[in-house]
Structure 1
């Protein structure tokens, strides 16, 4: 049975991997395991050990705490749409594209999006 925390951590691994444009195979090679194991981690089927999570965090250039963001202590994570917006592939592509824009233009786009959302 999948534990909700393992599912959450796995989703965060997948999100970060998508954000940096890395395949499961590439991440597996960096960590020294088979890509099938990455698949199991990302679905929460297999629990990630502390040392393996450390390796994954280094490969994805994030602190280990990144994988636990969004968890409330003592409360199991939910699969509400708002709580897991980055599970949507379109949203992930939008975020990846956003960060590919040079900083000055990205700031202007962000300001425009805020104005548009306030007007909606």
Structure 2
């Protein structure tokens, strides 16, 4: 049975890896392990040791504390997350691909696209 903390840390590893556009294989190579181990970490099936989490944080360019953000407190209350609602958004592959594609557009065109999206959504 997986521990909720291991599942949370695994999800944070997956989110950051996907945000950077890094495959499990690439992350595994950077850390010096097999990609299957990354799979097990991301599902929470295997617990990540402190030294391995340090290496993963370095490979994904975050502080170790990043993996614990948003973790529910021991009393069951929800902890604040630096990412807020963006966490759920980055679980959706299509949304993540859209964000990556958006930032690949030259800035002047990106601003025009943003304004168009605001007008079309009636948020403006």
Scaled by the length of structure 2, the TM-score of the pair is: 0.74
Q: Paired residue for 2:81?
A: none
- Tell me: higher relative CO, structure 1 or 2? Use CA pairs within 8 A at least 6 residues apart: 1
Provide the alpha-carbon RMSD of the alignment: 2.6
Take 2:8 and 2:77, find their aligned partners in 1: how far apart are those partners? 9
Partner residue, 1:84: 88
Asked whether 1:32 is paired with 2:29, we answer no
Query: Measured at CA, do residues 107 and 69 of structure 1 come closer, stay the same or move farther in structure 2, by a change above 3 Å?
Result: farther
**Which structure 2 segments of 5+ residues have no match?**
79-84
Instruction: Provide the residue aligned with 2:73 in structure 1.
Output: 73
**Number of residue equivalences:** 115
Deviation (angstroms), 1:66: 1.5
Of structures 1 and 2, the larger Rg is shown by 2
Deviation per CA, 1:25-77: give whole Å up to 9, x if none: 11111101111000000111001111111100100111112212222322387
TM-score (norm. length: structure 1): 0.76
CA–CA separation in structure 1 for the residues paired with 2:62 and 2:108: 24
Residues in 2 aligned to 1:46 and 1:117: alpha-carbon distance in whole angstroms: 46
The answer for unaligned runs of 5 or more in structure 1 is none
Structure 1 or 2: larger helix share?
A: 1
Given that 1:4 and 1:76 are in contact with CA atoms closer than 8 Å, whether structure 2 keeps it comes out as no
